[in-house]
Amino acid sequence: MSTLSIDRHDLALLDALQRSGDATNAVLGEAVHLSASQVSRRLQRLQEAGLITGYAALLDPAALGLDVIAFAHVVLERHGGVRTEAFEEGVAALPEVLECFSVSGNADYVLRIVAPDLAAFSELMMKRVLRLPGIANIKTDIVLGKVKQTHVLPLEHIARPSRPRRGVRYSAG
């Protein structure tokens, strides 16, 4: 992997883009003190380097009637091989599962799930999730209230690395 050199303008651009992904290059340029054409070139370079992986509209689940958010902690019967692949493929096919992480600790996977209500959540769990291959145990936590949720990644560590980073190098220029 080659090292990408980014500067303070790139960091400011990435930060501004995370906060307002629909901003035009001219608006982004005003925020980071660059011309729209400079912003365009930098965005293309950052996309080609894989730092920007896509663009999306962030929808409000509650406004769309998805009032239940839950985290499911899944333990598999056995690890590796066909069973693990079948479980992961099954999870990927469930649109209600927004995220699935392979984790260390008491569970093998943690899933973030949305549903319109508790009845729909129960039906999803009983008729679809629990029928996925290889599951030994599932424990779920229903979200009672949202304290913090963000999609904005912290970027300060890039400008002040405590140790050399793979793939990204900051230049003060």
For residue 160, the 8-state DSSP code is S
142, amino acid identity? I
**Measured distance CA(103)–CA(101) in Å, rounded:** 6
**How many degrees, rounded to 5, is the angle at CA 135 between CA 96 and CA 93?**
30
Q: What is the pTM of this model?
A: 0.85
Q: What stretch of H or E contains 60?
A: none
Q: Give start-end residues of each CATH 1.10.10.10 domain in the chain.
A: 4-57
In this prediction, residue 137 carries a pLDDT of: 95
Q: What stretch of H or E contains 71?
A: strand 68-76
* Helical ranges in the chain per DSSP H: 8-19, 25-32, 36-48, 81-92, 118-124, 156-159
Q: Give start-end residues of each CATH 3.30.70.920 domain in the chain.
A: 62-142
In this prediction, residue 1 carries a pLDDT of: 47
CA distances from 37 to 6, 30, 41, 43 (A): 17, 12, 6, 10
Domain 62-142 has CATH 2.60.40.10: no
Residue range 106-151, pLDDT digits in tens: 999 999 999 999 999 999 999 999 999 999 999 999 999 999 999 9
Residue range 23-48, pLDDT digits in tens: 999 999 999 999 999 999 999 999 99
Is 163's pLDDT higher than 80?
Answer: no
Question: Is residue 104 a contact partner of residue 116, using CB atoms and an 8 Å limit?
Answer: no
CATH number for the domain whose boundaries are 4-57: 1.10.10.10
| Mean pLDDT, range 9-17, rounded to an integer | 95
